[in-house]
Structures are given as C-alpha cells and as structure tokens.
Amino acid sequence: MKTLFDKIWDAHVVTHIDDGPDQLYIDRHYCHEVTSPQAFAGLRERGLKVFRPGRTYCSPDHNIPTHDQDKPIADPVSRKAVDTLRENAEANGLTHYGLGHPLNGIIHVIGPEQGLTLPGYTIVCGDSHTSTHGAVGAVAFGIGTSEVEMVLASQCILQPKPRTMRITVNGKLRPGVSAKDLALYIIARLGTDGATGYFVEYAGEAVRSLSMEGRMTLCNMSIEMGARGGMVGPDATTIEYIRGRANAPEGEAFEEAARRWLALATADGARFDREVEFDAADIGVRVTYGTNPGMGIDVGATIPEPKNESDAKVLEYMQFTPGTPIAGTKVDYVFLGSCTNGRIEDFREFARVVKGRRRHPDVTAWLVPGSRAVMQQIVDEGIDVELVRAGFELRQPGCSACLAMNDDKIPAGKLCVSTSNRNFEGRQGPGARTVLASPATAAAAAVTGVITNHLTI
C-alpha cells in the first residue's frame, strides 16, 4: 500500500544507491533566466548539448518588466539575463516562450495552463516554488544550479528520497476563506520549519473543495513551511482541468491517461511518516504581520506580543505595535500577481470585490497577470473593463513585485498588501514592508486604503 508520492517517486527511480540518493528520471524540466545561465555554461565547458530537449521548456519571468514589453529592456542586467536564456534555448533546440510570445508568462503559471504539467510526472525547475505543479498530482520540486545542469545533461537527478507528511483539513472552509488563507493558517500553525525534510500531501474535504487554481496556491506555499514539495491527489477536478489543454492527451488517449491518473491516489491504509489534521472551521481570513509567512493572524486579530528580541526587531521593522488591531493599518501599495495568485480566478475575485467601488487615491496598485494567456482571458471576460472602471490599470505578465529583480519595487518604508508568497525583509524592495494576503483581501485594501476584512465592506 503506497502513498501518491511513493507511487510516482518509485516509478521514476533509475538507480538506487544504498545509503545514498536515488537517480531519479525527470519528465518535465522548466527553465527561467535566473538559475539556468551557469548550468548551460557548464554544458558548453564539457562539450555537451541538452540530452532530451523535448522535455525542457523555457520562459523568462523574474527579470522582465511589466510595461512596454514591446521595447528593449532598459535595465542592462535584466536584458542580459533574458537574452542569455533565449540564446541558450536556441543553441539547444528548446521550446522558448520569449518576451512578447503569446505563451510567455511565469513558468509556474504557464506549465499547468498549457497542459505541460500532468499527473504522475516528476517536475523540476531552478526555483523553489516549483512545488506549485504538485497540485495536479505530480512530484514537483525546486533544484539548484548544479542540479539544473545535471538534468539538462542527463534528464536525471541525484536526489535523496524525502519523508512523507499528510496534512488533512477536515470540514468545509467558511464562506470567503480562500486557499491563500488556508495556506497562511497552516504555515502559522506548523511554523516555517514545520515540514522541513517532508513531501506533503494535502487531503480532506476542505482541500478537495478547492479549484485547481486554489490547489496550486496551496502547493505553491508549501515551501514556506520548509517542505520539499506539496501535492494533491488527482480526482475529477484534476481531470476536468486538464481536459482539452494544448499539450494534454486527446480522445481515447486522454481517457486512458485519466484512468491511470486517478489510480495514483494514495491507497487506503498507506502510511505517512507524519500525519497532521486541522479543522476548516477554525480558519478565517488571514494576513501576515512579520517578515516570514509563518507570522500570520486573522485579519480581525491584534498584533501579538513579541516572544523574543528577534520578534521585537521584526515588529519595529514592520512599524507595528503589539496589542493593536492590524485591521485599519494604512496601505501604500497593493500587488495582485505572482505564481501564487496571478491566475484568472484571482483576477475574477479581485474584480468581484472592487466592482462598484473605486481605488483609494492613496494606494498604488499593480495588477499583474501570471501569463499572456491569463491577460487575454481577463480581456475576453471583460474583467479589464471592470478594473479600469474602478480606477485600476492592468499591467503585462511577469513576476513583478513578488521579488526585487525587476522595475516593480516597493519603496523603502512603504507597506504593500501582496498576494505573493514571501514577506521577507527587503523581498519586495530594500526597506519595503510586506503583508501577505488573498486576492480578495488585497482588493479590499486597494479600495479602502487600509488592511480590511473583505467580508465587511
């Protein structure tokens, strides 16, 4: 009796090294411009080409601007990084969704939306949030630069097998509580190291009720509690999400694949190294107040007293006073986007909250689709019209203000309510203050000018 993780991992072991790592075959390899240049340089130094070019897909995302993408990138460092990815892809015959390509976008958004991410796959990328792809029932995890080179050269990787953990969320989520709220709650309960060394399977009624995009948000955030990756077992929701996507099987081949995918589910009685359970009824609308994703509270709660000197320094940096409500805190910036919350459902939710309202004049809002496909869908559904009517501007796809590697940086001292995945000190710009939240909570902040429970406006 095997878990979902064990079934996939064991099926991909090429060689097992006693008291050492497994040689694991990789079905899909994603590359962006940040971690791949040194890996490709290593191949050239050894006179090698990419071993299986049909299994590697490239898209620039971290360094690209989210405006004027039809013009040359102004920043020379970012321009060099994006150009180098294109050159390496062309030299090795790799699929490359370059800047301006209709399929360009954040690599963890375009993989699932293009049907490149499939159940039962092993998936890697030189990016920690590769765990996003586990939402379809895949073993997906981030790797380092030397490991990127290893996969390019051999389509395999040496990797110790992680331990397994199942997190079960029983019952139904309360109305208005999102996958992002669920993720922030779990991380706060377990801590930022609570799943270190484990590959997590999410289960239970609350998880099954999530859409595929919600599951991607949940799996994406697994890394923030130290997990090697996160995953959800394939079910009817998974099958219908994949059906008809560009690179998915078609016709009878799809139906046959769907049967295999459903059979991947964890067997009854399968054992995990650790089991954790939560009650969905305990979870409310969440925000963070510190400088790691584990420092989170309900939006209606007060800032906790610091437990130690380190916590006190965090609160000083965030300009928060213990014992005061976090709701009502003045907001300077709002960011909707990233591989966590840059999908079409996130924009639908944001637009739902702001409809009939206006952006607060003191708030700068960056609304950044996760891909060109998402951007087109926003237009097709008329969401862009609703956003403009409410005083917002839609930007072009990219990682944007998730991290300070492009033009979209939050100024020092300013507070940003962000739908991204990390609130580390300086993550969104030197001296920037970040509060992580769901798209609905971000929307409420954008129209009220303060941190607000979206259910109360």
What is d(CA 342, CA 216) in angstroms, rounded to the nearest whole number? 11
Q: Which residues contact 87 (CB under 8 A, 6 or more apart)?
A: none
- Domain end point (choices 106, 136, 159): 159
Average pLDDT, the chain: 98
> Would you list the DSSP string of 184-209?
HHHHHHH-TTTTTTEEEEEESHHHHT
Q: Report the pLDDT value the prediction gives residue 159, as an integer from 0 to 100.
A: 96
- Domain end point (choices 142, 159, 176): 159
Same domain? For 383 and 416 the reply is: yes
Q: Report the pLDDT value the prediction gives residue 361, as an integer from 0 to 100.
A: 98
Q: Report the pLDDT value the prediction gives residue 182, as an integer from 0 to 100.
A: 98
Quick one: angle between helices 76-92 and 37-45, nearest 10? 50
Residue 265: band (very low, low, confident or very high) from pLDDT cuts 50, 70, 90 = very high
Same domain? For 363 and 344 the reply is: yes
Residue 202: band (very low, low, confident or very high) from pLDDT cuts 50, 70, 90 = very high
Task: Work out the angle at residue 131's Cα, subtended by the Cα atoms of residues 19 and 192, and round it to the nearest 5 degrees.
Answer: 80
- The pLDDT tens digits for 364-413 are 999 999 999 999 999 999 999 999 999 999 999 999 999 999 999 999 99
Q: Report the pLDDT value the prediction gives residue 118, as an integer from 0 to 100.
A: 98
- CATH code (residue 238): 3.40.1060.10
Is 34 part of a structural domain of the chain? yes
- The pLDDT tens digits for 303-319 are 999 999 999 999 999 99
Q: Is 418 left (phi over 0), alpha (psi -120 to 50) or beta?
A: beta
Of 181, 197, 140, 164, nearest to 275 (Cα)? 164
| Identity of residue 149 | E
Location of structure tokens 């909570």: 441
- Domain end point (choices 159, 190, 206): 159
Is 377 part of a structural domain of the chain? yes
- Per DSSP bridges, beta strands 286-288 and 364-367 are unpaired
- CATH code (residue 33): 3.30.499.10
Residue 19 half-sphere exposure, CB side, CA atoms within 13 Å? 0
Residue 53: band (very low, low, confident or very high) from pLDDT cuts 50, 70, 90 = very high
Is 300 part of a structural domain of the chain? no
Q: How many residues does the chain have?
A: 457
Q: Report the pLDDT value the prediction gives residue 221, as an integer from 0 to 100.
A: 98
Q: Give whole-number Cα distances, 227 to 33, 193, 267, 325, 335, in Å.
A: 24, 8, 22, 31, 25
What is d(CA 138, CA 264) in angstroms, rounded to the nearest whole number? 10
Is 198 part of a structural domain of the chain? yes
Same domain? For 138 and 188 the reply is: no
Same domain? For 144 and 94 the reply is: yes
Residue 44: band (very low, low, confident or very high) from pLDDT cuts 50, 70, 90 = very high
Beta strands in 204-339, from DSSP E residues, in sequence order: 229-232, 274-279, 286-288, 296-298, 333-336
Query: 109: which 2 tokens?
Result: 């958004």
What is d(CA 154, CA 366) in angstroms, rounded to the nearest whole number? 40
Average pLDDT of the residues in 299-303: 98
- The pLDDT tens digits for 70-115 are 999 999 999 999 999 999 999 999 999 999 999 999 999 999 999 9
Same domain? For 152 and 175 the reply is: no
Residue 197: band (very low, low, confident or very high) from pLDDT cuts 50, 70, 90 = very high
Task: Work out the angle at residue 109's Cα, subtended by the Cα atoms of residues 213 and 281, and round it to the nearest 5 degrees.
Answer: 25
Is 313 part of a structural domain of the chain? no
CB count within 10 Å of CB 58 equals: 22
- DSSP reduced 3-state for 129: helix
- The pLDDT tens digits for 120-169 are 999 999 999 999 999 999 999 999 999 999 999 999 999 999 999 999 99
Average pLDDT of the residues in 5-31: 97
Residue 332: band (very low, low, confident or very high) from pLDDT cuts 50, 70, 90 = very high
- Domain containing 439: what range? 329-452
Same domain? For 350 and 417 the reply is: yes
| Identity of residue 381 | E
Q: Report the pLDDT value the prediction gives residue 292, as an integer from 0 to 100.
A: 98
Is 418 part of a structural domain of the chain? yes
Same domain? For 210 and 355 the reply is: no
Same domain? For 277 and 374 the reply is: no
Same domain? For 22 and 155 the reply is: yes
Q: Give whole-number Cα distances, 215 to 185, 221, 293, 391, 421, in Å.
A: 15, 10, 18, 30, 14
Same domain? For 55 and 200 the reply is: no
* Percent of the chain clearing pLDDT 70 (strictly above): 100
Same domain? For 19 and 148 the reply is: yes
Is 212 part of a structural domain of the chain? yes
Same domain? For 140 and 207 the reply is: no
Is 82 part of a structural domain of the chain? yes
Location of structure tokens 């130094």: 45
Quote the number of domains for the chain. Answer: 3
Q: Report the pLDDT value the prediction gives residue 15, as an integer from 0 to 100.
A: 97
